[in-house]
A and B are shown apart, each in its own frame.
Chain A
Amino acid sequence: MIRSDASESVVDTTNCDREPIHLPGAIQPHGCLLAFSLKARTLTHWSSHADQWLGVAPRGGESLAEFFTPTAVARLTALADDRPGIVHPLGGPILRTGAPRQAADAAAHVWSDALIVELEEGPPDGRGLAPDNLSLPRRLSLANQHFQASSTPDGLYDAIVREVREISGYDRVMLYRFLKGGHGAVVGEAVDPRFGSFLGLHYPATDIPQQARQLYVLNPIRSIADVNAEPVVLRSVNPLSSPPLDLSFSAFRAVSPIHVEYLQNMGVAASMSISLVIDGELWGLIACHHYSPRVLTFDRRAACEMLGTLAGPYLTTRLDSEAGKLQATRRSLLTEVMHDVASRPDFRDGLRDRAPQLRRVLDADGVVFCRRHDSLPFGQTPSETVVRAIEKRLADHPDAVWSTDVLGEEFPDLAEDLSGVAGCLAVATEASDLSAVIFFRGEYAREVRWAGEPTKVETPTAEGGRLSPRHSFAEWRDTVRGQSIEWSASDLVLASEVRLALIELLSRRAANIARLNDELSRINSDLSSFAYAASHDLREPLRGLNQAIFLLRRELHPAPTPQLEDRLVAIEQLAGRMDDLVGGLLRLARAGSSDLQYDHFQLDEVAREAAEMVLGRPIRSDVDLQIQEGVPVSGDFLCVRELLTNLIDNAIKYNRSDRIAVSIGVEEAANHSAGAGRGAMVFVVEDNGIGIAPELQKDVFQIFRRLHLPGEFGGGTGAGLAIAKKVVERHGGRIWIESGSDGGSKLLFTLSPNPTEDEEIE
């Protein structure tokens, strides 16, 4: 049934698709063909057995009237002006009286400058359409109702083959659907129980050559009444000069010997094919087989053709509706997922929690969210190497979508890394914290049942290969490996929707972050101006307080009672303490407010200045100060000096050693993974002081957090380390404390952002 006829008995693989199968130069013997020149209406071609139908041998050049009744001549004359390719039925006896075999049925059409008249025998099984003897319109109406009643594609396939079998009476009627790559499969079948089922079998693309497919689009019906009958050659008025007659629309077009052989190998004696054309594309065929010769009347052929035409829109509707339903389900799932992810404060958490649903939207086995430096895999996914290779491929793709169902063929070098994944569908989202989303499908190792081994058999000849059809139609199983289930058009549409939804989410999120940042920097600047204003304004009354105490003390000099003297001292000390605190707050506010002036300088230069500010010049003799030389620093000189001043001040102040030792230098960053990443320079100020207990090491950076009594250690303000932290943070660095080697403290800090740390999906 599948192999179409070819005109020449010898073809090879190079010309197979170019065989002029519409010009066979012969017809099947159950009909008679007469062709007339369209202009002169004189006979140009006739089937060689025409004398059996006409009673006399026709001669080229004879006019219509020599063959047909006056009524028939008038009709033929009229239809000669009609459009080509329309096959007109000519009911009733049309041959002139005296013809030995009055054809019961006849048809005529115009094609390629010829008026072609075809005669055939009457129906052997009565006028009606067996078995229910209904008229054609009622039979078609019934079929239409069946088509309408079938709500799924599978139900419709079944209705189509059953209706065609009812009308045609063939032993087997199959619905054959073309798939990707040109091969096809039997998706519906109605068969006489005496014969085995072909349902689900695949047929290779080569079974139907290209030009046969074109012919199926042009002329939707093709029948072979008896595969084993000897074809009847066409004679022509001028065999040497006249072109071969184009039989594209002929009901009796002869069958190519190769196709005959193909059908014979299958055991088929008669066949008919009806094209299913959707949107100008050959979607499939209704293929009919009979295991004994079978001639269909014009009426029945026409009815089958009508069913094929009728089936087209139903197929479109049912397939679209099925795809639409699936798409609607998946789309609403996508909306739900996106809604949930959008409502989460943390984008990454949202994606992580909803990854399984997002996978289901695309019917995928795994999904990877790609970020600039890493990726978040969920479900079945290949290695990071493969993910990056896909991302690179995606970047070269202008549509922002790239898919394949044979990853192994796309990346043959990475076959080891696929982890059972065979298909991917990648969409680019082009944001730094989500550059792409890649969906994966695992290998779908499936068995394809071929109707015989799907390779052409070439029989070697002297001239090259002689193509012969397949001999065996015994089922032949082939296991497909390395492929996933194909990504459908619906998958691609949904992938685009996933992409757009994520891009929208990302941009909304970016806008949100920008807004929060603005707000934060405004609050920060408000805070620092508040701290500045507050500390500045606090100073005024404090100064007044000091002045009042001074004057009071003068006026009460000498103090009338020791108690009053104690009170005065207490007020003085508290005012002094308050003054220190306000001063500290003011310095902290200043450390956080002015713009940084970046400069390059040496550590020893800034550290020496800071030390002299704390320890006087020359440096106090009870302090051993070590400063490492040749260490370049990049930062705001005054700020760094302020920072070191505070650190040195603390090192000296909280120290009970007889000889105070302070060393300032740098250490290898690798030792400090807790506080700094690779590449950052870690500065260290180490002392031999009283140290800070580990559990308190975080607290000391809070403003006014003092770990000791006010009277101890010369009464620090508690602002020093807060100021130090502020300076470090304004440089993008970090500051932390470690216990020193001999009981003292080690203050460590960096002055530049950690280059390996990224704030990405959060």
Chain B
Amino acid sequence: MNNSPPTVFVLEDSDLDFELQTLAIRELVPEARIVRASDCCNAPKSFEEIQPSLIVIDVDLPSCNGLAFLEKMRKSQSVSAPVVVFSTSTDASNESRALSAGADQYCVKPVAAAAYLQAVRSFASPYLAVGG
């Protein structure tokens, strides 16, 4: 167990979304390290270096599908970090695909910003307990 601040990897193309997510995570853990990729193509090939405590993946991305990224990631790497798929899609098939690809949770992005912050806090907090 190290005491270094937790790292969250976020795959998210929307700057505003990323800003809100950062806001919510920093509310929980102000010193948290947040690594962002705005598309699959600039996501790291390996999470060896980052060692994230939580991975947050959006589904609709400019050049790829977040779920496909998740499936590939779970197959090729032994990343044990928990994954939350965070999307605007209410489509039930996306949720079941995410869970079967190895996501720990599927969360729909609330429209209202306050609710959005609350949603991020509630799915992130279990994994970002300070000192955890």
Residue numbers of A with Cβ under 8 A of B are 539-540, 542-544, 546-551, 579
Q: Given A539-B111, A579-B111 in contact, is the A547-B88 Cβ separation under 8 Å?
A: no
Which residues of chain B are within 8 angstroms of A539 by Cβ–Cβ distance? 88, 111
Task: Say yes or no for B92: interface residue by CB 8 A criterion.
Answer: no
Interchain residue pairs A-B with the least CB separation, the first 5: A550-B113, A547-B16, A547-B113, A544-B16, A543-B111
Task: Say yes or no for B112: interface residue by CB 8 A criterion.
Answer: yes
Which residues of chain B are within 8 angstroms of A547 by Cβ–Cβ distance? 16-17, 19-20, 113, 116
How many A-B pairs with Cβ below 8 Å? 28
Taken together as a complex, chains A and B put the C-alpha atoms of A475 and B113 apart, in Å, by 112
Which residues of chain A are within 8 angstroms of B16 by Cβ–Cβ distance? 544, 547-548, 551
Which residues of chain B are within 8 angstroms of A549 by Cβ–Cβ distance? 113
Considering only residues 94-113 of chain B, those with a C-beta below 8 Å from chain A are 109, 111-113
Taken together as a complex, chains A and B put the C-alpha atoms of A547 and B113 apart, in Å, by 5
Partner of B88, one of A540, A546, A550, A551: A540
> What 1/0 mask marks residues of chain B from 12 to 40 whose CB sits below 8 Å from any chain A CB?
00101101100000000000000000000
- Secondary structure at the B interface, as helix, strand, loop or mixed, is helix
For the complex formed, measure the closest distance between the CB of B27 and the CB atoms of chain A, giving whole angstroms: 12
For the complex formed, measure the closest distance between the CB of B109 and the CB atoms of chain A, giving whole angstroms: 7
Q: Given A551-B19, A551-B20 in contact, is the A546-B112 Cβ separation under 8 Å?
A: yes
Taken together as a complex, chains A and B put the C-alpha atoms of A92 and B24 apart, in Å, by 143
Beyond known contacts A543-B88, A547-B20, A550-B114: 5 more, CB 8 A cutoff: A543-B111, A546-B112, A547-B16, A551-B113, A579-B111
For the complex formed, measure the closest distance between the CB of A555 and the CB atoms of chain B, giving whole angstroms: 11
Taken together as a complex, chains A and B put the C-alpha atoms of A550 and B20 apart, in Å, by 9
- In the complex, which residue of chain A has the Cβ closest to the Cβ of B14? A544
- In the complex, which residue of chain A has the Cβ closest to the Cβ of B113? A550
Name 21 interchain pairs, CB-CB below 8 A, sorted by A. Answer: A539-B88, A539-B111, A540-B88, A543-B88, A543-B109, A544-B16, A546-B113, A547-B16, A547-B17, A547-B19, A547-B20, A547-B113, A547-B116, A548-B16, A549-B113, A550-B20, A550-B113, A550-B114, A551-B16, A551-B19, A551-B113
Taken together as a complex, chains A and B put the C-alpha atoms of A548 and B18 apart, in Å, by 12
For the complex formed, measure the closest distance between the CB of B24 and the CB atoms of chain A, giving whole angstroms: 12
Which residues of chain B are within 8 angstroms of A546 by Cβ–Cβ distance? 111-113
Taken together as a complex, chains A and B put the C-alpha atoms of A707 and B11 apart, in Å, by 45
Which residues of chain B are within 8 angstroms of A551 by Cβ–Cβ distance? 16, 19-20, 113
For the complex formed, measure the closest distance between the CB of A536 and the CB atoms of chain B, giving whole angstroms: 9
Q: Which of B20, B109, B113 has the most chain A CB atoms inside 10 A of its CB?
A: B113
Which residues of chain B are within 8 angstroms of A550 by Cβ–Cβ distance? 20, 113-114
Which residues of chain A are within 8 angstroms of B112 by Cβ–Cβ distance? 546
For the complex formed, measure the closest distance between the CB of B86 and the CB atoms of chain A, giving whole angstroms: 13
Taken together as a complex, chains A and B put the C-alpha atoms of A579 and B112 apart, in Å, by 10
Taken together as a complex, chains A and B put the C-alpha atoms of A572 and B113 apart, in Å, by 11
Taken together as a complex, chains A and B put the C-alpha atoms of A540 and B17 apart, in Å, by 11
Considering only residues 53-111 of chain B, those with a C-beta below 8 Å from chain A are 88, 109, 111
- In the complex, which residue of chain B has the Cβ closest to the Cβ of A579? B111
For the complex formed, measure the closest distance between the CB of B113 and the CB atoms of chain A, giving whole angstroms: 3
Which residues of chain B are within 8 angstroms of A542 by Cβ–Cβ distance? 111
Which residues of chain A are within 8 angstroms of B114 by Cβ–Cβ distance? 550
For the complex formed, measure the closest distance between the CB of B38 and the CB atoms of chain A, giving whole angstroms: 15
Which residues of chain A are within 8 angstroms of B19 by Cβ–Cβ distance? 547, 551
Which residues of chain B are within 8 angstroms of A579 by Cβ–Cβ distance? 111
Taken together as a complex, chains A and B put the C-alpha atoms of A548 and B14 apart, in Å, by 11
Taken together as a complex, chains A and B put the C-alpha atoms of A542 and B17 apart, in Å, by 13
Which residues of chain A are within 8 angstroms of B109 by Cβ–Cβ distance? 543
Which residues of chain B are within 8 angstroms of A544 by Cβ–Cβ distance? 14, 16
- In the complex, which residue of chain A has the Cβ closest to the Cβ of B60? A540
For the complex formed, measure the closest distance between the CB of B16 and the CB atoms of chain A, giving whole angstroms: 4
- In the complex, which residue of chain A has the Cβ closest to the Cβ of B116? A547
For the complex formed, measure the closest distance between the CB of B112 and the CB atoms of chain A, giving whole angstroms: 7
Q: Which of B16, B17, B114, B116 has the most chain A CB atoms inside 10 A of its CB?
A: B16
Taken together as a complex, chains A and B put the C-alpha atoms of A543 and B14 apart, in Å, by 11
Taken together as a complex, chains A and B put the C-alpha atoms of A542 and B14 apart, in Å, by 13
- In the complex, which residue of chain B has the Cβ closest to the Cβ of A551? B19
Which residues of chain A are within 8 angstroms of B111 by Cβ–Cβ distance? 539, 542-543, 546, 579
For the complex formed, measure the closest distance between the CB of A589 and the CB atoms of chain B, giving whole angstroms: 14
For the complex formed, measure the closest distance between the CB of A585 and the CB atoms of chain B, giving whole angstroms: 15
Taken together as a complex, chains A and B put the C-alpha atoms of A579 and B113 apart, in Å, by 13
- In the complex, which residue of chain A has the Cβ closest to the Cβ of B117? A550
- In the complex, which residue of chain B has the Cβ closest to the Cβ of A576? B112
Which residues of chain A are within 8 angstroms of B17 by Cβ–Cβ distance? 547
Taken together as a complex, chains A and B put the C-alpha atoms of A467 and B14 apart, in Å, by 117
Taken together as a complex, chains A and B put the C-alpha atoms of A361 and B74 apart, in Å, by 83
- In the complex, which residue of chain A has the Cβ closest to the Cβ of B89? A536
Taken together as a complex, chains A and B put the C-alpha atoms of A547 and B109 apart, in Å, by 11
For the complex formed, measure the closest distance between the CB of A719 and the CB atoms of chain B, giving whole angstroms: 17
- In the complex, which residue of chain A has the Cβ closest to the Cβ of B114? A550
